[in-house]
Amino acid sequence: MAANLTTRSQETADVLGPLMENMTWPEVVEAAEQGYVPILVVGATEQHGPHLPLGSDWILPLEIAVGVAKRLKVLVPPPLMYGFKSKALSGGGQRFPGTASLRGSTLTALVHDVVSELARSGFRHLVVMNWHMENVNFIWEGIDLAREDGGLRDATVMSMDDPERAFDMREIETWMFDDGFPGWDVEHASTVETSLMLAVRPELVRNDLIADDAAEDHPWYDIVPEPERHVAKSGVLANASQASVEKGERYFEMIVTEVAAAIEREFGTERHG
């Protein structure tokens, strides 16, 4: 990334990568002028079973964003590593130690502020990419409040609430799930996420602890406070043992390609020369 920034040698660019935290402010000025697009990642710090780390929900979209940055003029600002509260039926719920969540108003304010500041820095196109179902709508509202109070200037923001909506599950189902797609809500610490982590951050996966699990009961509604029977004991909500490096690599490539295509199409963002 950032190979074209006049203040960086190719060698330096290779070391620093697309992370905005590693850039200086004059580099930001130049990147904005060159049409670079920041991808603000929003995730969660949330239990992911005994085999995946707490950071999985922002580590994965961060890897995707970095993957996209290898193809397009894209930057990656410091991700929002805390997200909205975990629900029992899609993330195990708020009773797991290690899960550290925000109130909805905090998350919305955070997105509102950071998106406004990126727009102030001169970027004309922004992407916000989410990987935690419970964040849905709070993020969009943060962006919309920035629009309402003029914080976006004339920037345009693409909100990727759920990158996985990009795909036809009937196609993916054929090679990803042995027993059919169980629904994205229970795909928490299960086949897809475990496969992806095996592919991109294998050192963070406790291979010997991968095991299937499920809540005793998984209805179509939530109950507050959540009953025990809605909580999968291990924190794994479906069949993690179906995961494989190959599935992860295939799926990762699909997502990176699709996200990059969307950005290129909507914003005309250039590929690296």
218 is an active site residue: no
Tell whether residue 220 is a contact of a second copy (CB under 8 A).
yes
Active-site hit among 57, 63, 161, 164: 57
Q: How far is the CB of 17 from a second copy (least distance, A)?
A: 11
What residues from 111 to 150 belong to the interface with a second copy (CB under 8 A)? 112-114, 117-118, 120-122, 134-138, 140-141, 143-145, 147, 149
What residues from 50 to 69 belong to the interface with a second copy (CB under 8 A)? 50-55, 58-59
Tell whether residue 13 is a contact of a second copy (CB under 8 A).
no
193 is an active site residue: yes
Q: How far is the CB of 240 from a second copy (least distance, A)?
A: 12
**Helices (H), ranges, 18-103:** 25-33, 56-69, 88-91
- Sequence-separated (6 or more) residues with CB below 8 Å from residue 125: 35, 37, 155, 156, 157, 158, 263, 266, 267, 269
Tell whether residue 15 is a contact of a second copy (CB under 8 A).
yes
CA-to-CA distance for 177 and 247, rounded, in angstroms? Answer: 10
CA-to-CA distance for 11 and 20, rounded, in angstroms? Answer: 17
CA-to-CA distance for 80 and 226, rounded, in angstroms? Answer: 26
Q: Which is nearer to a second copy, 10 or 246 (CB)?
A: 10
The alpha carbon of residue 46 and the mean position of all alpha carbons in its chain are separated, in whole angstroms, by 13
Active-site hit among 134, 161, 164, 213: 134
46 is an active site residue: yes
The values of phi and psi at residue 40, to 5°, are -85, 115
CA-to-CA distance for 4 and 53, rounded, in angstroms? Answer: 35
# of chain residues touching a second copy (CB under 8 A): 94
Neighbours of 259 (CB within 10 A): 25
CA-to-CA distance for 146 and 159, rounded, in angstroms? Answer: 13
What residues from 69 to 88 belong to the interface with a second copy (CB under 8 A)? 77-78, 81-82, 84-85, 87
Tell whether residue 268 is a contact of a second copy (CB under 8 A).
no
Among 17, 124, 162, 249, binds a second copy (CB under 8 A): 162
Among 16, 169, 172, 254, binds a second copy (CB under 8 A): 16
Tell whether residue 224 is a contact of a second copy (CB under 8 A).
yes
Among 96, 131, 177, 251, binds a second copy (CB under 8 A): 96
CA-to-CA distance for 43 and 258, rounded, in angstroms? Answer: 19
Tell whether residue 204 is a contact of a second copy (CB under 8 A).
yes
188 is an active site residue: yes
CA-to-CA distance for 180 and 164, rounded, in angstroms? Answer: 16
Name the 3-class secondary structure at 258.
helix
CA-to-CA distance for 182 and 179, rounded, in angstroms? Answer: 8
272 is an active site residue: no
Q: Which is nearer to a second copy, 171 or 246 (CB)?
A: 171
CA-to-CA distance for 182 and 96, rounded, in angstroms? Answer: 23
Tell whether residue 102 is a contact of a second copy (CB under 8 A).
yes
User: Looking at the annotation, which residues are catalytic?
Assistant: 46, 48, 57, 132, 134, 188, 193
